Amino acid sequence: MPVELKIPQSGESITEVQIGEWRKSAGDYVEMDEVLVEIETDKASMELPAPVSGTLTKILKGNGAEAAVGDVIALIEEGKAPAGKTAKKTATSAAAESAKKEAAPAAKPAAAAKTQSKQQTDAKVMPSAQRILSQAGIEATTVEGTGPGGRITKDDAQQAAAEPAAAPAEAPAPAAVAPKPLAPPTAVSSPGREEEVVPMTPMRKVIARNLVNAQQTAALLTTFNEVDMTTVMALRARWKDAFLEKTGVKLGFMSFFVKAAVEALKDCPGVNSRIEGTHIIYRKYFDVGIAVGGGRGLVVPILRNAENLNFADIEKKIGDFAKRAQANKIDLSELQGGTFTISNGGIYGSMLSTPIVNPPQSGILGLHAIQQRAVVMDGEIVARPMMYVALTYDHRIVDGREAVTFLKRIKDVIENPERIFLEI
C-alpha cells in the first residue's frame, strides 16, 4: 500500500501552504529523510523529507498549487531501489495532469453543473476559508474562488467577509448561478514592452495583508531624531580586530542598537507592550525582532530575551539569521512572537523612512544610512557621521512624550556607549 506524503501542521495559525519546487520527479527512487519538496507558508519556507525509502509513484499537487494542512500531495511505494532505471515523469507533467483533473468539472454541461452535490461544492472551499465564511454567514456559492481549479482561498473569504452586506430584498431572489472563477491577469506584451504575471507567494500575501491591517487598526505615528555615530564608530574601529579574534564574529553596529533599544524599552515600557481587547499587556522581557532580507522577502527572526545577550551573542545570532534567511532556512518558531522590532534600511542606502509596526507590537525602530553632515558643536560647524532614527508607534498605547523619550534614550546611549556597560 502506498505511503502518503502529507502537509504537516506548521504552526497554530497556518492552515494553508503553497507547493514550491519538487526536488524529485514521479518514478524517482528516494531515501528516507531525503528532501522531496519545498513548501511555502505565510511566514517561511520549509522542506518535506521522504517518510520512507521507496519509489515516488505519483505527485498529486504540482509546483505552485495550494494545499491545506493534512492534504496528501504525493504517494511513495515503499521498497528497495530498483535494479534498472525507471521511466520518470517530471513534476511539471504531474502538475499538468493535476490541473487537467481540476479543470475537468468546468467542462461539464450546464445541466450537470446545476445538479452538482453540496459535497462537491464544499470540496472547492479551503478549510480556513470555510471557517471565515461560516462565521460571517456567507454562502460559499456567492464567493468567487481565485485558487487552483476555482477553489475559494482564505484571501477570497476574507475579502467577501469585509464587503458590506447587501440590503435584504423584498422578494426572494432567484437561485444564484455559481460564479465562474476569476482568471489570472493576462500579460500584454509587445516588442520592448514585455510583461510577466506571477502569483503572489503566501509570504507576500501575508505581508501585504498585515501591513494594510496595521494601518487600518492602529493609530500609527512616527517621530524622528538624529544620532552622532562618531563615538561608536571610533569604538568599533579600535576594537573590531580584537573582537573578531576573541569571538570569531565581526563587531557591527546592530548590537549597539539592540543594547540601546533594550535600555530604552526599560525606560518606556509602553513601547514594549501590546493591546489585547480593552487591556494592556506589559512585557517584562525583551524579544527584539531584527528585520533581514530573505530569499523570498523580508523576514523578522527574534532575539529572545535580548536583555541577557552580550555583544558577541547578538552579532552571532544576527549573522546566522541573515545567512539562513537567504537560503530560506529560518525555522517558523524563530519568526513567531517578538515584543519590538528593529529595521535597518540604511544597509540599502535609505536616508529616512517611516517603518510600519508589526502587529500586535506597539513600536518599531528604523535605522538609516550614516552620512557626513554639517552640525554645530560648541558653537562651530563641523562634519559628523550622522544617522536619522525613526520610531513608529501605536498612539493608542504610546503617548508622544513616551515616544520622544524613547528616541532620546537611544540617542544618549549610542552617543555615549559606555552607558551600556555602566547601565546608567
Annotated active-site residue in 228, 313, 320, 395 = 395
Are 248 and 386 within one domain? yes
Residues 208-257: pLDDT tens digits?
Answer: 777 787 888 889 999 999 999 999 999 999 999 999 999 999 999 999 99
What mean pLDDT do residues 266-273 have?
96
Are 307 and 335 within one domain? yes
Annotated active-site residue in 33, 241, 267, 399 = 399
Which conformational region is residue 149 in: left (phi greater than 0), alpha (psi within -120 to 50 degrees), or beta?
left
Are 19 and 98 within one domain? yes
> Does residue 328 belong to any structural domain of this protein?
yes
Are 241 and 220 within one domain? yes
What mean pLDDT do residues 275-302 have?
89
pLDDT score of 311: 95
Are 145 and 210 within one domain? no
> Does residue 367 belong to any structural domain of this protein?
yes
User: What is the pTM (predicted TM-score) of this model?
Assistant: 0.62
Q: What rounded mean pLDDT belongs to the chain?
A: 82
> Does residue 413 belong to any structural domain of this protein?
yes
State the CATH number of the domain containing residue 146. Answer: 4.10.320.10
Amino acid at 329: K
What mean pLDDT do residues 322-347 have?
89
**127, 144, 160 - which closes a domain:** 160
Cell of 348: 540599502
The count of structural domains within the chain is: 3
Quote the CA–CA distance of 17 and 128 in Å, as a whole number. Answer: 11
Are 272 and 214 within one domain? yes
What mean pLDDT do residues 379-401 have?
96
Are 141 and 244 within one domain? no
Residues 239-250: pLDDT tens digits?
Answer: 999 999 999 999
pLDDT score of 166: 47
**84, 104, 124 - which closes a domain:** 104
> Does residue 394 belong to any structural domain of this protein?
yes
Are 63 and 123 within one domain? no
What mean pLDDT do residues 171-189 have?
60
State the CATH number of the domain containing residue 345. Answer: 3.30.559.10
Position 179 confidence tier, pLDDT thresholds 50, 70, 90: low
Amino acid at 256: F
pLDDT score of 175: 54
156 as an active site residue: the answer is: no
pLDDT score of 268: 97
> Does residue 380 belong to any structural domain of this protein?
yes
> Does residue 282 belong to any structural domain of this protein?
yes
What mean pLDDT do residues 46-71 have?
88
Quote the CA–CA distance of 83 and 53 in Å, as a whole number. Answer: 15
Residues 64-108: pLDDT tens digits?
Answer: 788 888 899 999 988 887 765 443 444 444 444 454 444 444 444
Quote the CA–CA distance of 398 and 265 in Å, as a whole number. Answer: 12
User: At residue 115, does pLDDT exceed 50?
Assistant: no
Are 59 and 92 within one domain? yes
Q: What is the CA radius of gyration of the chain?
A: 27
pLDDT score of 182: 58
Are 223 and 255 within one domain? yes
Quick one: what percent of the chain has pLDDT higher than 70?
79
> Does residue 78 belong to any structural domain of this protein?
yes
Q: CA 311, 317, 320 angle in degrees (round to 5)? A: 140
Higher per-residue confidence, 54 vs 123: 54
> Does residue 188 belong to any structural domain of this protein?
no
- Does residue 229 contact residue 370 with C-beta atoms inside 8 Å? yes
What residue numbers bound the domain in which 154 lies? 108-160
33 as an active site residue: the answer is: no
User: CA torsion sign, 12 to 17 to 23 to 26?
Assistant: positive
